[in-house]
Structure 1
Amino acid sequence: MLKQFLNLKLSQKLSPQQIQLMKLIQLPTQAFEQRLLEEMNENPALESGKEEEEYEKDEFENDDYDDYNDSESIDADDINIDEYLSDDDTPDYKTQANNYSDDDESRESPLAAPISFHQDLINQLNTFILDDHEREIAEFLVGSIDDMGYIRRSIPDMVDDMAFTQGIYTDEYMVERMLHVIHELEPSGVGARDLQECLLLQLKHKTPTDAVELAADIIENQFDAFTKKHYDKLIQKYNISNEQLKKAIYEIEKLNPKPGGGFTGNQKITENVVPDFAIRIIDNELELTLNGRNAPSLHVSKDYQEMLQTYKDSRDKSGAQKEAVQFIKQKLDSAKWFIDAIKQRQETLFVTMNAIMHYQEEYFFDGDETKLKPMILKDIADIVGLDISTVSRVANSKYVETPYGTKLIKEFFSEAMKNDQGEDVSTLEIKKILQNIIEEENKKKPLPDDQLAELLKEKGYPIARRTVAKYREQLDIPVARMRKKI
């Protein structure tokens, strides 16, 4: 049975403008520039640069523009839109000139044409004497190599794949034989099916020495003991000295576990970090600046304002021009809002970073990470009077240039823990001390997590062993057994 009833309730909703503003605040400098470019391409009423002197009056306080913010419907007439959007000057093609003679030498700057990793391997295959069937199999194997240089598929799977997708009928013996050809290509180790085979292939390509031969034997026959760093077992197994094992391990450490990753032809885009802020120490005072690329000079188009003024002065109206002027007004409104949003974005970024700078003032003066104070989003939100989500958007993807390097702002935030004096200390401070302890330990006998916890307790930081393990993993430091060295 259906029923109708009235229900009154209060709900909080964000307007489309507020949502767009939040998105603008979240954008780092480079993404903001791209967003600005998109807006200018979409809205012809938005122009960059400063207005001419005759239009120095703030475009947001234009009296003529305000007349169109009332609730009355907008009519249109007597505005020849083409008059404003066309160019009556001499066409460009009549002013162009060719000042070059037919005898002039054409000079063009050569552009690099990088060869891909897989194409380089195919080119190397051309130096081998192979029949058509063998070449088809070898090229299929090259196509199965991933960007790290490995073939992570079993031979039976590749035999079936060649038959079903390429119409190449072969057997496992032939694929295995062609795989040995692939293993002769450069860089050494390419085409390996696992790390053990990759390292072994590279060792077999090296000039034979006692250390290289011992290293190859260890990788081939004692790989598990080597990866677990059971060095005593290796010394006993091979009846060698500590120094001999150290030389063999040194040969292994020089190998490349990702032979394809270092290929110079791989044209991967490297993302450059553009600092959104800069902090400098001038006359023993901290000075904060916002990257100028976040504060572009924008104004509302003079031509579009004149078109609205012309409409105001006209008396005759027409339906077609009414639609045109409504479109113009919409673009002017959008341009005005976007300029306001950018100014609000600038203010939000600056006041938030300024609060962070003063909260962590001690750190920014000397760069000692142990002096970073515990700081959560709410601390900064309370200072600047903004919502926690807004502070999070500012900190999440922004960078600040400091005298000690470029830092991600969110790295300055950390939880608080009590030391043995009952004082709040940053978890970043504890992590830094833990890292220093591990760096100074005896690598022949690395400290397990329980001993690290004891040392931290002696320094005044009583934390549990499992917490030490968590911090160690966050610092990307392996367990004690994997830190062991001869």
Structure 2
Amino acid sequence: MLKQFLQLKLSQKLSPQQIQLMKLIQLPTQAFEQRLKEEMVENPALETGKEEDEFEKDEFENEEYDDYDEFENDRIEAEDINIDEYLSDDETPEYKLQANNYSDDDEDRSMPLAAPVSFHQDLINQLNTFILSEDEREIAEFLVGSIDDMGYIRRSIQDIVDDMAFTQGIYTDEKTVERILHIVHELEPSGVGARDLQECLLLQLKHKTPTQSIDLATDIIENQFEAFTKKHYDKLLQKYEVTQDVLKKAVDEIEKLNPKPGGSYAGNNRIVEHVVPDFAIKIVDGELELSLNGRNAPELHVSKDYQEMLQTYKDARQKSTQQKEAVQFIKQKLDSAKWFIDAIRQRQETLFVTMNAIMHYQEEYFLDGDETKLRPMILKDIADMVGLDISTVSRVANSKYVETPYGTKLIKEYFSEAMKNDQGEDVSTIEIKKILQNTIEDEDKRKPLPDDKLAEILKEKGYPIARRTIAKYREQLDIPVARMRKKI
């Protein structure tokens, strides 16, 4: 049975403009610049730079333009408005309309492009220095192709033999592949082609000039690898009946080795992305001064040509359907351009206001750079100060960097939970982690401090922290357990 009834309810929905603003706020500087370029390409009514002639900004919002909604009104039956002079169908490429006014004597500023040899290509080039038969070379090149970026072959010999037979039509046996693998092990960097860490370290030690320390290090890796990785130095001293100094020299030789030989190859390194700070904090005459990266505040304006097209339509008496659709397109682009400019302006204000609140909240830290002076700060603290939603503050903090006299840092690193010290005062967990890190750095590495001892030391310093909390903070700081910090 069908029924009809009325239901009243309140609902909150974000407008397209609000969604656009939220997306812009969370973008860091470089991503924002890319988004700006995309918008410039998509919307011809949006232009950069200052306007040559001041155009009345409020004119676009004038009520006189409300009659553009008459596009849907059947009363408009006019025939002719010459929009073609504005919307040209000329398909002549822009580059044919440009002239090159540079002479042959002008300096050529083009930059040459580097063409580095890849890691695997370099290994194959090294194979050319070995005398190999055609079959052996095919096997060697297949082995080189099986090496990952870290320099390891993480497959068994049997798998490689089967793979060559099925995919390459190369039929061989494990003994032959093992023999060719020894040739691959002669390639540089030393250790490349190893099947595990133990073999990688052994290959590097065998490439070194034999000494007492090298021989002992080789024996340790070959026969006492597990004891070494667990740092059971007492067992090693008892096993080899050597002094602590002799064992220390052997361990030092092992620690000099590269566990990832492929990662050291210059052509194999990934391009490091540079961090572009969104804000800069400077100390001027003992006062903090905040500035927003100028790349976040581009000069944009609505195209004057497009506004004149709209004015032409307004003055025209006759309008064809095709021309009305064209002008409606212009109106849409003008609206979009205006919304985008407003969104950028609001983005600038939101970023500046939020960072300014963070700066003043952590003023004591920013004045001298001592991390132990960072106050406990959560998103709600800043949201209440600036009158914004917590999600908006989160968007600002999660992806933005600030340049300070003490380095460039991610803003969210200044946020932390609060804990009570022995005086009942709220202290930042960042402060506690810093004190924990300093305590571990100052410990005797021959007898590193276990977590329960670290908890006692921090308690003595006024921070009553449980042992399990110490373990959690230590893991967050990427510090290993006491046994793995031990040194001879």
Relative to the length of structure 2, the TM-score reads 0.93
- How far apart are residue 350 of structure 1 and its match? 0.4
What's the counterpart of residue 49 of structure 1?
A: 49
Contact 1:50–1:297 under 8 Å retained in 2: yes
Contact 1:77–1:314 under 8 Å retained in 2: no
- How far apart are residue 267 of structure 1 and its match? 5.2
Equivalent in 382, 388, 391 of residue 389 of structure 1: 391
CA 1:214/1:77 → structure 2, altered by over 3 Å: closer, same or farther?
farther
CA 1:65/1:42 → structure 2, altered by over 3 Å: closer, same or farther?
farther
- How far apart are residue 55 of structure 1 and its match? 2.3
Q: Which string of whole-angstrom CA distances, capped at 9 and with x for unpartnered residues, describes residues 102-124 of structure 1?
A: xx9x9986532100000000101
Say which SS state the counterpart of residue 299 (structure 1) adopts. strand
Say which SS state the counterpart of residue 24 (structure 1) adopts. helix
What's the counterpart of residue 283 of structure 1?
A: 285
Contact 1:275–1:400 under 8 Å retained in 2: yes
Contact 1:25–1:394 under 8 Å retained in 2: yes
Contact 2:201–2:254 under 8 Å retained in 1: yes
- How far apart are residue 269 of structure 1 and its match? 2.0
| 1:469 aligns to 2:466 (yes or no) | no
Contact 2:455–2:465 under 8 Å retained in 1: yes
- How far apart are residue 425 of structure 1 and its match? 0.5
CA distance in 2, matches of 1:98, 1:28: 38
Contact 2:164–2:171 under 8 Å retained in 1: yes
CA 1:15/1:372 → structure 2, altered by over 3 Å: closer, same or farther?
same
Letter in 1 for 2:54: Y
CA 1:322/1:242 → structure 2, altered by over 3 Å: closer, same or farther?
same
Residues 216-255 of structure 1 mapped to structure 2, 5 A cutoff: 216-255=218-257
Letter in 2 for 1:130: L
| 1:20 aligns to 2:17 (yes or no) | no
- How far apart are residue 287 of structure 1 and its match? 0.4
What's the counterpart of residue 193 of structure 1?
A: 195
- How far apart are residue 99 of structure 1 and its match? 5.2
- How far apart are residue 376 of structure 1 and its match? 0.3
What's the counterpart of residue 36 of structure 1?
A: 36
Letter in 1 for 2:239: K
Say which SS state the counterpart of residue 326 (structure 1) adopts. helix
| 1:342 aligns to 2:339 (yes or no) | no
CA 1:100/1:271 → structure 2, altered by over 3 Å: closer, same or farther?
closer
CA distance in 2, matches of 1:375, 1:182: 55
Letter in 1 for 2:290: L
CA 1:194/1:435 → structure 2, altered by over 3 Å: closer, same or farther?
same
Say which SS state the counterpart of residue 289 (structure 2) adopts. strand
Contact 2:149–2:268 under 8 Å retained in 1: no
Residues 44-443 of structure 1 mapped to structure 2, 5 A cutoff: 44-52=44-52, 54-58=53-57, 61-62=58-59, 66-69=63-66, 72-74=69-71, 78-86=80-88, 100=104, 110-266=112-268, 268-443=270-445
CA 1:271/1:453 → structure 2, altered by over 3 Å: closer, same or farther?
same
CA distance in 1, matches of 2:49, 2:162: 63
- How far apart are residue 178 of structure 1 and its match? 1.2
Aligned sequence identity (%): 80
- How far apart are residue 266 of structure 1 and its match? 2.1
CA distance in 2, matches of 1:434, 1:479: 13
CA distance in 2, matches of 1:91, 1:261: 44
Relative to the length of structure 1, the TM-score reads 0.94
Contact 1:21–1:341 under 8 Å retained in 2: yes
Runs of 4+ in 1 over 4 A off after TM superposition: 1-7, 63-66, 75-79, 85-88, 90-101, 106-110
- Count of matched residue pairs: 480
Letter in 2 for 1:62: E
- How far apart are residue 481 of structure 1 and its match? 0.3
CA distance in 1, matches of 2:246, 2:174: 40
Letter in 1 for 2:22: M
Letter in 1 for 2:356: N
Say which SS state the counterpart of residue 14 (structure 2) adopts. coil
